[in-house]
Amino acid sequence: MTPAKRSSRRSSSRGPAPVALDTTAAPEPATSLSDETSVENTPLFSSLGLDERVLKAVEAAGYAHPTPIQTQAIPLALRGRDLMGLAQTGTGKTAAFTLPIVQRLLDGPRRLRALILTPTRELCQQVDASFRKYGLFAGIDVAPVYGGVGYEPQEKALSSGVDVIVATPGRLIDHMERRNVSLDELEILVLDEADRMLDMGFAPQINRIVAGISPYRQTLLFSATMPPEVEALARKYLRRPIVVQVGRRSQAAHTVRHAVYPVPGARKTPLLVALLKEPDMDSVLVFTRTKHGADKVVRGLNDAGIEASAMHADKTQAQRNAALEGFRTGAVRVLVATDIAQRGLDISGISHVINYDVPGQAEDYIHRIGRTGRAAQTGDAFTFMAPDEIAMVRTIERVLGQPIDRVSMPGFDFGSGA
């Protein structure tokens, strides 16, 4: 979504937004918008066929114009079509399915009608918040269901009856086995960040869950990328879907400035400390490859007098929530995380993403840096490259289709030693 009022640090040009349609379905063509379309020329939410109560919630949230993925996906979803939405992170995919679902639930029967599956607890919380925000005047009940917290509050919410469940696959199956939830009358299924769910090994759980849902449901699949595994999932569970694509696959946001810092592995933390002394380092998300590495970086920053928090899978949910809240409010300027945070971290104003370790897959780089430069804001993505990480950086550059500028910091480059 495009906020009614928003400031940004830089302006940027953006590329075209093609729309791919399943030719076997012969659907009505979706409206194609260019990413270069100015706010003045984009449609208003009122032109998308949304109910006044939904529009009132959108206005209360401070939004005026839909993003390209929302402009294309919402009318199609409102018509009941199965849909595959492909777009970079930070382009408004969550609202693209939340808004039409809220509309469909208006004045309907009081029962479980919609299920959204997400790969991580944090994304589950984000989607839950989206439903509460846009369902403000719709009178719908939503239950978030994820691990790392007690069962009792979730059981109580489910037993009281809800319209929407937002869940991670593992915890949902736990509740299904306890007979706390039935999917017999489900009307809408959303597979959010489908590529990440498959990366995390959730395919068996997804298959088990979908097996208990009516085949006559509406299914919406959203993903930042479309690897063969996701295409296979779509063929299995979607009926004659319309594919809406904003930007080309594996494309990084145009609002992000990239740079690579060659540095010996042993000098990465001192380099990070030096960079964090720069005045424009307002809100910095640092990615490490391992949980141990994240904790080690936080200790190094704390020793240098820089307050930082760590977020990874070994942290309790309460600790993860506290770390995110501190980062979101600005109480903590630096959040050091593993790839658990590369999806589902919807925090505006992240000025810098720093890859302390080069990610093991090129597409993970795109997801990581998608945490900055969101919703037409601008941001910087810095990558620390040790000698043994040069080959992976070159792979990332091939996927991006462009070289990344090298920045040599005196005292920290390869020739400086350990």
Domain boundaries, the chain: 2-246, 256-416
Distance between CA atoms of residues 350 and 213, nearest Å: 39
- The stretches of 113-226 forming alpha helices (DSSP H) are 121-134, 152-160, 169-177, 194-199, 203-210
Nearest to 233, CA basis, from 197, 259, 271: 197
At 8, is the pLDDT very low, low, confident or very high (cuts 50, 70, 90)? Answer: very low
Short-list 386, 391, 324, CA closest to 361: 391
Q: Of residues 367 and 112, which shows the higher confidence score?
A: 112
Structure tokens belonging to residue 141:
């009940």
Rounded CA separation 98/34 (Å): 23
Measured distance CA(17)–CA(57) in Å, rounded = 27
CATH number of 2-246: 3.40.50.300
Q: What is the DSSP letter of 415?
A: G
Q: Encode burial over 48-57: b for 16+ CB neighbours within 10 A, e otherwise.
A: bebbebbbeb
How close are the terminal C-alpha atoms of the chain, in Å? 46
Q: Summarize pLDDT for 57-91 with one digit per residue, the tens.
A: 999 999 989 999 999 999 999 999 999 998 876 78
Q: What is the pTM of this model?
A: 0.66
> In 3-state terms, what secondary structure has residue 406?
strand
Q: What is the pLDDT of residue 165?
A: 98
Indicate the pLDDT class of residue 24, thresholds 50, 70 and 90.
Answer: very low
39 three-state secondary structure: helix
Q: How many CB atoms lie within 10 A of CB 23?
A: 7
Q: In what helix (H) or strand (E) does residue 95 lie, and over which residues does it extend?
A: helix 93-105
How does pLDDT run across 228-253, given as a tens digit for each residue?
A: 888 999 999 999 999 998 865 444 45
Q: Is the pLDDT of residue 318 over 90?
A: no
Query: pLDDT tens digit string along 187-200?
Result: 999 999 998 898 88
Same fold flag, 2-246 and 256-416: yes
Query: In this structure, what are the phi and psi dihedrals at residue 242, rounded to the nearest 5 degrees?
Result: -90, 135
- Indicate the DSSP class of residue 413: S
CATH match for 256-416 among 3.40.720.10, 2.60.120.10, 3.40.50.300, 3.90.1150.10: 3.40.50.300
User: What is the pLDDT at residue 279?
Assistant: 84
Residue whose C-alpha is closest to residue 269's, from 409, 384, 352? 384
Residue 160 has pLDDT above 60, yes or no: yes
As a whole-number percent, the residues of the chain with pLDDT over 70 amount to: 82
Q: Number of C-alpha atoms within 13 angstroms, CB side, residue 344?
A: 29
Highest mean pLDDT among 17-26, 83-92, 392-401: 392-401
pLDDT at 225 > cutoff 90: no
